[in-house]
């Protein structure tokens, strides 16, 4: 998490600004280490170009933070920072880096072999902040990059269960499968995860100690 020594004005040794990037955006941590119990009024300027930014959110309050273009092309915003505090900000891109987030795949290895255990895999999540409407889709692809099953639904909630069957009703072979997520709002962007299908029954003799 790099520190941005030139991000604030006026310069203040008590203020530390750290920045980190994820698939879901640019995050900032503004730390006021001052012991004088006085809040600071400061201007923060950071790298994203103003035309690339949809909005900035204060993660503590949930409120939008107004911003403008700095002379060097960065975005800038005026902040009031309480003493001995951490202010967390999220810079949201106009065009997202991924279309879904908070994806959970349970279990990551499933076994649709009819024994009643882990017969399906359940996938849940949601579309990213920039996608509030439209449709999402998820393609299950095998090792030869062929689509074997397709799911879709309305944003923002993502949820489906796969039983190991293809769209044609055939049992899919054991192996690793890609799950490729897409959304109508940003059709050029994909997000990939993996799931394993393994129908090998447990070795009962090994479990019984024989």
**Cβ–Cβ under 8 Å, residues 120 and 163:** yes
Asked if 21 and 73 touch (Cβ cutoff 8 Å), the reply is no
Tokens describing residue 93: 């891109």
Asked if pLDDT for residue 161 goes beyond 60, the answer is yes
- Tell me if 203 is assigned to some domain: no
In a domain, 205, yes or no: no
Q: What is the pLDDT of residues 127-139, one digit of tens each?
A: 998 998 999 999 9
| Strand-pair partners of 76 | 45, 68
What contacts 141, CB < 8 A, 6 or more positions away?
147, 148, 177, 178, 179, 180
CATH of the domain at 49: 2.60.40.1180
- Digit-coded pLDDT (tens) for 191-205: 999 999 999 987 653
d(CA 147, CA 190): 15
Q: Which of 103-107, 161-165, 187-191 has the lowest mean pLDDT?
A: 187-191
184 is a domain residue: yes
Which pLDDT value is given to residue 116? 92
Task: Say whether both 154 and 68 belong to one domain.
Answer: no
pLDDT score of 208 more than 50 = no
Longest dimension (CA), the chain: 76
| Cis before 127? omega within 30 | no
Kindly state the tokens that stand for 208: 């019984």
Q: What is the pLDDT of residue 1?
A: 44
Tell whether 54 and 118 lie within a shared domain.
no
Q: Does residue 159 carry a pLDDT above 50?
A: yes
pTM: 0.77
Query: What's the mean pLDDT in 108-123?
Result: 95
pLDDT digits (tens, 9 = 90+) for 14-51: 899 998 888 778 899 999 998 888 888 999 998 877 78
Distance from C-alpha of 157 to C-alpha of 41, rounded to nearest angstrom: 39
Is residue 44 packed enough to be buried (19+ CB in 10 Å), middle (13-18) or exposed (0-12)? buried
Residues 143 and 192 in one domain: yes
Instruction: Specify the higher pLDDT residue, 146 or 207.
Output: 146
Q: Are residues 43 and 112 in the same domain?
A: no
Q: Read off the pLDDT of each residue in 81-96 and give the average, rounded to a whole number.
A: 91
User: Do residues 13 and 81 share a domain?
Assistant: yes
User: Mean pLDDT of all residues in the chain?
Assistant: 90
Quote the tokens at residue 60: 């503590």
157 or 5, which is more confident:
157
Q: Structural domain of residue 41, as residue ranges?
A: 8-93
Per the structure block, which two tokens stand in for 179? 């799950």
């Amino acid at each position: 998490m790099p520190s941005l020594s030139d991000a604030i004005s006026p310069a203040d040794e008590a203020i530390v600004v750290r920045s980190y990037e994820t698939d879901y955006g640019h995050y900032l941590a503004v730390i006021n280490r001052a012991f004088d119990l006085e809040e600071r009024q400061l201007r923060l300027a950071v790298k994203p170009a103003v035309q690339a930014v949809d909005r900035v959110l204060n993660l503590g309050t949930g409120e939008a933070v107004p911003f403008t273009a700095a002379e060097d092309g960065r975005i800038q915003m005026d902040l009031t920072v309480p003493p001995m505090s951490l202010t967390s900000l999220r810079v949201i891109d106009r065009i997202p880096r991924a279309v879904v987030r908070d994806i959970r795949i349970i279990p990551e290895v499933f076994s649709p072999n009819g024994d009643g255990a882990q017969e399906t895999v359940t996938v849940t999540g949601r579309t990213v902040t920039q996608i509030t409407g439209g449709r999402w889709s998820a393609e299950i692809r095998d090792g030869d990059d062929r689509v074997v099953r397709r799911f879709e639904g309305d944003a923002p909630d993502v949820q489906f269960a796969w039983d190991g069957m293809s769209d044609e009703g055939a049992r899919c072979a054991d192996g690793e499968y890609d799950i490729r997520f897409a959304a109508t709002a940003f059709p050029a962007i994909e997000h990939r995860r993996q799931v394993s299908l393994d129908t090998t029954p447990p070795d009962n003799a090994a479990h019984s100690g024989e």
